[in-house]
Amino acid sequence: MAKEVVTKGPSDERWFDVIVYLIAAVIILIVLYPLLFVVSASFSDPARVLNGEVWLLPKGVTLEAYNNILHNDQIWTGYRNSIFYTVVGTLINIVMTLLAAYPLSRPDLPGRKGLMLIITLTMFFSGGLIPSYLLVKSLGMVDTMWALIIPGAISTYNLIVMRTYFQSSIPWELQEAAHIDGCSNWRLLVSIILPLSKPILAVMVLFYAVGHWNAFFNALIYIRSEHLYPLQLVLREILMISQSTGVDGGNVGMEEKILLSESIKFAVIIVSSLPVLVMYPFVQRHFVKGVMIGSIKG
């Protein structure tokens, strides 16, 4: 930025900067506090958390919760599964979305509006749980990992975002020129469109991957075998136990299980969110770089 500022005095600019920085600082504090609380709680004596003694720093520091998790096979299986679902699922998502978004972005494609309508309508109507379940069942995917990947292969929302990007950010004349050079549409997609689409691909990978990592409802419905459970379902089970009420008689061990869950829940939250948080800065570098090359313009 230029040092000499035109017409408006430098103090004005300075004040503006100060206010911007202050607001940003306040936002950071508000966002960070609950997160710090969870971290502190995960290192604290669970009884003191339940009693509300912890508010910022850990009380009665203990690593018991993490130790418990370390020896919990369920969590590690969930971890492995979630990574698999996220990687394979996202790959399929990207390919499918790309295959749909690109042709639909072409203004010279006959029938494009009709197809778009067909696709958009699906955001509003669904046959409901039962027919969907019947379908997945008849495809033989119930209680297999595919039930978590194939039925959600495309997110219409993401498809629309991607299509909008192609329409607005990749010059049409470029594509026409390529055509005149005798370039097929496949070649065009692979060697011209894709290299220009890094930012949107980065965004899509992020959207889809986080979606997979946090998803659990389909698993709740379609997966019975615990060795196929994604991490979120394991997490949910742990968190739900402490929510459960009115356990009827003959429930030996339930109390202990509940109290155990209560004591490890904050640590489980940390452990399950960690991979995404750790990965994020790496993805983000590409992401920001991509965004700088070109972006979603009007």
Partner 1 sequence: MKNAEIHETAAAAKFRSERGSRLIKQIVKRYDLYLMLLLPIAWYLLFHYGPLYGLQIAFKNFNPGKGILGSSWVGFDNFQRFFDSYYFWRLLWNTLSINLFSLILAFPIPILLALLINEIKSKSYSKLLQNITYIPHFISVVVIVGILTVLLSTNGPINMLIQALGGSEIRFMESAGWFKTIFIGSNIWQNMGWQSIIYIAALSGINPQLYEAAKMDGASRMRRIWHVSLPGIVPVIVILLILDIGQFMNIGFEKILLMQNNLNLEASDVISTFVYTTGILKGEYSYTAAIGLFNSLINLTLLLLVNRFARKTSETSLW
Partner 2 sequence: MRKQWGIATISTMLIAALVLGGCGSGSGTKNNAASNGEGVAEVSKDGFPIVQEPVKLKMFTRIAPVNGPFKDMPVFQDYEKMSNVQVEFIEAPTDGFQEKKNLLFASNELPDVMYRSGISPLEAVRYGSGGQLIPLENMIEEYAPNFNKLMEQYPEIRASITTPEGHIYTLPGIVTLGSARTDKIWINQAWLKKLNLKEPQTLDDLYEVLVAFRDQDPNGNGKQDELPLTARKGLPIVVLMSGAFGLDQQFGYNINIVGDKVEIWMGNERNKELLMFLNKLYTEKLLDPELFSHTEAQFLAKQGTGNTGVFFDQTNNNFLPIAGQYTGLAPFEGPHGDRLQSQGAPVPRDQGAFAITSVNKYPEVSMRWIDYFYSDEGSTLLRFGREGEHYELVDGIPTYKPEYSTAETQPKITPYAGGGAPHLISDYVASYINPPQVQEAQKKMDPFMPKIRYAAPMFDEATAQKVNTLRNDIDKYYEEQSTKFIAGALSFDKWGEFQATLKKMNIEELQQIYQEAYDKMEK
Binding site for partner 2 (CB under 8 A): 47, 50, 110-111, 113-115, 117-118, 129-131, 133-135, 137-138, 142, 220-221, 224, 226, 236-237, 240-259, 261-262
Contact 79, 231 (CB under 8 A): yes
The item of partner 2, partner 1, none sharing an interface with residue 13, based on CB under 5 to 8 Å by kind, is: partner 1
Whether 81 and 118 have beta carbons less than 8 Å apart is answered as no
Contact residues for 86 (Cβ-Cβ < 8 A; gap 6+): 209, 212, 213
What are the tokens at 125?
């109507």
In the complex with partner 1, the residue whose CB is nearer, 81 or 97, is 97
Work out how close the CB of 84 gets to partner 1 at its nearest, in angstroms, rounded to a whole number: 18
Sign of CA pseudo-dihedral 170, 174, 176, 182: negative
Among residues 76 and 294, whose Cβ is nearest to partner 2?
76
- Shorter beta-carbon distance to partner 2: residue 56 or 117: 117
CB 63 within 8 A of CB 267: no
- Which residue intervals of the chain are DSSP H helices? 10-42, 46-50, 64-70, 73-105, 112-121, 129-138, 156-169, 172-180, 185-187, 194-196, 198-214, 217-222, 231-241, 254-293
**Which of residues 63 and 134 has its CB atom nearest to partner 1 in the complex?**
134
Q: Does 216 bind partner 1 (CB under 8 A)?
A: yes
Contact pick of 16, 18, 137, 255 for partner 1 (by CB under 8 A): 16
Determine the residue type at 281: P
Applying CB under 8 A, which part among 67-75, 78-86, 236-244, 248-256 lies near partner 1?
A: 236-244
Residue from the set 167, 196, 198, 257 that interacts with partner 1 by CB under 8 A: 167
Give which of partner 1, partner 2, none residue 256 binds (C-beta under 5 to 8 Å, depending on kind): partner 2
Site for partner 1 in 195-214 (CB under 8 A): 199, 203, 206, 210, 213-214
Nearer residue to partner 1 within complex by CB, 75 or 154:
154
What is the x/- site pattern for partner 1, positions 25-54, by CB under 8 A? --xx-xxx-xx-xx--x-------x-xx--
The CA-atom distances, in angstroms, between 73 and each of 55, 68, 112, 225 are 31, 10, 50, 14
CA distances (Å), origin 44, targets 40, 49, 51, 272, 297: 6, 7, 12, 18, 48
The C-alpha atoms of residue 228 and residue 230 are separated, in whole angstroms, by: 6
By CB under 8 A, tell whether 282 contacts partner 1. no
Report the partner that residue 58 touches, choosing among partner 1, partner 2, none (CB closer than 5 to 8 A by kind).
none
| Residue in the block written with tokens 């196929």 | 228
Binding partner of 99, given partner 1, partner 2, none, CB within 5-8 angstroms per partner class: partner 1
